[in-house]
Amino acid sequence: MDRPQNFVFSVGLRHVLEDSLAVVRGQSLERGRRELVLRNLQRFVTQAMEGSASTTAAAFSNTRGTVDTIEAYELVHRMLSSRLRSELVPQLRNTAAVLSELGRNGDVDAERRKAAADLIDLLLRSLKYESAASSYKPAEASHLS
């Protein structure tokens, strides 16, 4: 399972989250970078939603989602499910829609923007926490031998 670990802790995901959060909060970003991060985060969020549907469907049948959708969902679920519980998929759906509208330079109302920003911020904080926790290595207790 090296692939999910590489994906989860990649610097790229962190930068996409940081830049997307800035855009959702109304900060300016160079046009090309703005389009890139919004598109990539929208794809990730959409994959997580599809992964959620695939995991639910797989419980009742032999259908399976793609590796990318399942990994995206597992990542988001692990990071956010304890905080958002039943609101996870609706929040993902709103965030994907907000990112899409912003990508088309659409007008998004403040309440929906805030909800999307809160989800992205929570993802970013969770990613940073997991990254820090995974790099922590306790000192060897050689003196206990």
pLDDT tens string, the chain, 145 residues long: the values are 444 455 444 678 889 999 999 999 999 999 999 999 999 999 999 998 888 776 554 444 444 557 777 788 888 888 887 777 788 889 999 999 999 999 998 899 999 999 999 999 999 998 888 777 766 556 554 455 4
**Helices of type H across 30-106:** 31-60, 67-84, 88-103
* Residue from 130, 103, 95, 108 nearest 39 by CA: 103
Tokens 């989250």 belong to residue: 17
Number of C-beta neighbours around residue 25 at 10 A: 13
Distance, first Cα to last Cα, the chain: 33
**Cβ pair 65, 50 in contact under 8 A:** yes
Tokens (6 digits) for 31: 């046009």
Q: Which of 27, 6, 37 is nearest to 99 (CA)?
A: 37
> Which pLDDT does position 85 carry in this prediction?
74
- Note the pTM of the prediction, 2 decimals: 0.76
Give the Cα separation of 45 and 25 in Å (integer).
18
